[in-house]
Each structure stands twice: as C-alpha cells, then as structure tokens.
Amino acid sequence: MVLRFHQLARSFPEIPHDPMRDFLVTARCDAACVEVTVRTWRGDGLDGFLAELAEDFRGWNGARNWRSLERDLTLSAVHAGSRVRLTWGLHAPFPDDDWHFEATTEHAPGEDMRRLAGEMRAFLDADPA
C-alpha cells in the first residue's frame, strides 16, 4: 500500500492570505487506486495530531480520531504495543455518493511518528502552487 499526499494548492487563490488548502491523497495497492481531493483550513491540525501521537509513545487506550474540514479524509490511530496503526479513510467527495476507502499504515512509536509528523508539517507549510 502506498499513500501519497501531493499537489498542495490554495483553495481560493484570488483571496490574499487564504488559509484554505486543497491537496490530493492517493492510495494505491495491487487491487485499487483511489484519489481524493482534501480541503483543509490551515491543515486542520493534522500535523499537530500526528505530533501528539508521537509524544504519547508509551501508548494510549482506544482509538484517537481526526477528520478534515469536509470529512473527505479521516484518520484513526490505535497504539498496539510496539506499533501505532493509522487507518486513513478517503471518503466520497459528494453527499450522494456512498463510498469510502481505508488504508492502514503501521509505524514505530516515538521517532518514526515524529518523522511522519514533521513530514506532514513540512508538506502543509509549503508554499502552495
């Protein structure tokens, strides 16, 4: 499974200092390729959510959840001992559509999660096209 965040752009480029950001999330595996445009307000705190998971490397009970502004991207995190399981949900962009796709990635707690949070922060803070 490959999960790629790319094509960061201003949602409303005609508005100076627009905090809205759009980006594509592509999930690709042997059986499918799914792509969703995600709209966020300054990233909706995704980088901060990942950073909090990294700081809680000793673990937590249950699932921790995050969602984008328009619920086109969701994330559920479970600490499973020596691994953190992140379930990324890509959801239908239109209310009449009723589909979603989930991809799970596993990460070591601590430094691996810190690296992921840093990469997400760098992506969201980049100067959009």
- The DSSP annotation for the chain comes to -EEEEEEEEESSTTSTT--EEEEEEEEE-SS-EEEEEEEEEGGGGHHHHHHHHHHTTT--SSEEEEE-TTSSEEEEEEEETTEEEEEEEEE-SSTT---EEEEEEEE-TTHHHHHHHHHHHHHHHS---
Q: What is the pTM of this model?
A: 0.92
| pLDDT mean across residues, the chain | 93
CATH architecture classification, 2-125? Roll (2.30)
> Over the stretch 72-108, which tens digit does the pLDDT of each residue have?
999 999 999 899 999 999 998 776 677 889 999 999 9
Q: What is the CA radius of gyration of the chain?
A: 15
The mean-pLDDT minimum among 50-54, 59-63, 98-102 falls in 98-102
| Residue range 99-119: mean pLDDT, rounded | 94
pLDDT of residue 129: 65
- Per the model's pLDDT, the better-predicted residue between 15 and 94 turns out to be 15
The pLDDT value given to residue 95: 67
Q: Dihedral of CA 45/50/55/60: which sign? A: positive
| Per-residue confidence band for 1, with pLDDT thresholds at 50, 70 and 90 | confident
